[in-house]
Structure 1
Amino acid sequence: MTAPHVGIWMYENGGGKAIEQKLVHALAERGIQSSTGLNLRDARAQGGQILCNGIVMEHLDAFLSYNAGQQTQYQLYLYQALSQSIPTLNNFASFALAEDKFRTSHLLNGHGIATADYRLCHKNDIAGLKAAIRDFGGKLVYKPTDGWGGVGIVKIDGEHALDMLLPFLSRTDLRYFYVERFIDYDNTDYRIDIVDGKCVGCYGRKAPKDDWKTNITSGGSVFVREPNDEVVELAIKATQALGLEIAGVDLIYDREQERYVVLEVNTIPAFATPEQEQLGINFNQNKLDAMVELIERTVVQKRALHSVKVA
């Protein structure tokens, strides 16, 4: 039998290339061959196969898609199609669910996992939006249901601010509005990385002065932060509820309701950059080891299933 073969598409900036090399080396030590750079942007599908950079993707034993910043609708379309033939990490169904902020909050609430209070309204339901801002204490956060890095998120202070924003929103092609109660917190969060049901790393993020968003792309900064049992348990529960193999769970402490809430679940959480490692954020090896274990187990299970079908 030929050696197991996995495909990888890893981000390259922020130390990603070095992480990819370590991943390939660690898999090779376990007898698993890797093909890197499998960006589905360069792929073409025909005759029941997806061909990318000379690789028939359906012949792989697994595919790790780990690049958040360059996802396009074409790539996601092929990612979904590929997931019907081979294991993908994350599995596409859970990936697509977690990429949708409303569906994520809705499902987590159904599992008893605290999130920000939310409201989904039809784009013409202005009364519903105004009721939400009153119900949520006069402050809302409007969020696109997809996207990352804090892009498109707008804080709305009061009905007057909402009235000023509505003409702009009405000219968009949005079918609905997703809003959350603005949470009174200390402008810091926890990022808990989960791989295969285990916590593999944690750090904190802090919003810049005179701002409230902790996202790095919005100007937030990272700092060393030890997790407590409560946030780890919440992060694991959220990841399992969504069915993700790999996740980065963002949590904040709601000072008004005196509880931790899951703010977001990221499907492609970055490793610590070299600069962040210099600050003492040193979970990369632990996370890498867990991902190698996950990939190996996925490959073994896939081959065992194939053997049963052939027999």
Structure 2
Amino acid sequence: MTEPRIGVIGIPGKWSTETLADAIEERSGFRLVIDMAQVSLDLTTSSLWFQGVDLCELDGLIVKKISEEYSPHTLDRLEMLRVAENRGVKVFSGAENIIRLVDRLSCTVTLSNAGISMPPTCVTEDQDAAFETVTRFGSAVFKPLFSTKARGMCVLEASAGEDVVRKDIAAFSEEHPVMYIQQKMDLSGQDLGMVFLAGRYLGTYARVSQSKAWNTTIESGGKYAPFSPDDELIALAHKAQAPFGLDFTTVDVALTPEGPIVFEVSAFGGFKGALEGAGIEAAGLYADHALRKVRS
């Protein structure tokens, strides 16, 4: 029996992309790392071309990273993958499932509708409403709808005074007309990444702040560490990821004085945090899952 041919969509040269491609190659003998910036869609023939290969003729595609940074164009890349799915290629996770997570607002609405505890949140295009929100929250985090790893986010403090706050709101709104505003929460210096494979809980790691940065991201100096959640916390994360139907994800959870909250569900999940913080060999587990699904 011929081994399945599964390509890995990601960022060539990046550790998580290459590690996943390694795992697929070790198990199937096939290796193809795909940069979506070099993919062309031909709707006349319903084909997706990358370096002379029609991706629609592969057995599967794992989307480890659809783009280096999120933007509305990221959604266009996912729409292209729907053509491959229509041709019978198994995409992990499904294109439409990922689409619902790349846009922060789409993720938030889904979590809210599922009754998941989240930080107090306001979304508006009205600068007066944004100012009133900062005043109400006291300390507010403004987030682009399309971003990862806290890129483009900023904290506005009501204590800075009306003139300063309104000026900062106007500056943010100029680049991001739809303002996504969350109350800044007391994270006690850490938040959690809770890892799931096809809805099955694998483990948890913490991102622990090593500086005075307002967030715990690794880019801001945070470090990965082990963490053992209780059953109630696992149940919360399981409930949060369930509506999205992802093949692999991490749920970002924080423990606050008001109780646990969910920030977001990741479209792709973090391999490095899973490995360094929880000892989870995510690439191999994900490769096994994809190959098993393709073979079946």
1:1-311 pair list within 5 angstroms: 3-11=3-11, 12-14=13-15, 16-26=17-27, 28=28, 34-46=30-42, 47=44, 48-67=46-65, 70=68, 76-84=75-83, 85=86, 86-122=89-125, 125-136=126-137, 138-158=138-158, 160=162, 161-172=164-175, 174-255=176-257, 257=258, 259-272=259-272, 277=276, 281-284=278-281, 287-300=282-295
Alignment length, in residue pairs? 285
Identity of aligned residues (%): 19
Q: Deviations over 1:61-118 (max 9, x none)?
A: 2211112663676665243222242331121112121122222122111111111111
Deviation at 1:56, TM superposition (A): 1.0
**Separation of aligned partners in 2, 1:60 and 1:180:** 42
Q: Which amino acid aligns with 2:58?
A: L
Contact 2:17 2:65 in 1 (8 A): no
Residue 150 of structure 1 aligns to which amino acid in structure 2?
Answer: A
Residue type at the aligned position of 2:280: F
CA contact (8 A) 2:195 2:201 kept: yes
Instruction: Tell me, in whole angstroms, the C-alpha distance in 2 between the residues paired with 1:205 and 1:3.
Output: 38
1:225 deviates by 1.7
Q: Indicate conservation of the 8 Å contact 2:66/2:78, yes or no.
A: no
SS of the aligned residue for 2:228 comes to: coil
Output the CA distance in 1 between the equivalents of 2:117 and 2:53.
43
Provide runs of 4+ in structure 1 moved above 6 Å: none
Q: Which is worse superposed, 197-206 or 81-90?
A: 81-90
Alpha-carbon distance between aligned partners in 1 of 2:122 and 2:80, rounded to the nearest angstrom: 32
Take 1:178 and 1:74, find their aligned partners in 2: how far apart are those partners? 19
- Give the 3 Å change call, closer, same or farther, for CA 237–217 of structure 1 in structure 2: same
Aligned residue identity for 1:92: A
| 1:127-155, Cα deviation, whole Å (9 max, x unpaired) | 2112322332x111100011101111111
Distance in 1 separating the partners of 2:127 and 2:68? 34
What residue identity is the alignment partner of 2:68?
A: Q
Partner of 1:309: none
Distance 1:74 1:183 in 2: 31
Seen in structure 2, the aligned counterparts of structure 1 residues 229 and 50 have a Cα distance that, compared at 3 Å, is same
Structure 2: gaps of 5 or more residues: none
- Aligned residues: CA RMSD: 2.5
SS of the counterpart of 2:155? strand
2:255 match: secondary structure? strand
SS at match of 1:250: strand
CA contact (8 A) 2:131 2:166 kept: no
Of 245-254 and 33-42, deviating more is 33-42
Tell me the TM-score normalised to structure 1 length.
0.82
User: Could you give the per-residue CA deviations for residues 5-41 of structure 1, whole angstroms, max 9, x where no partner exists?
Assistant: 2211344334653443123213x2xxxx633112222
Confirm or deny: 8 A CA contact 1:207 1:213 kept in the other structure.
yes
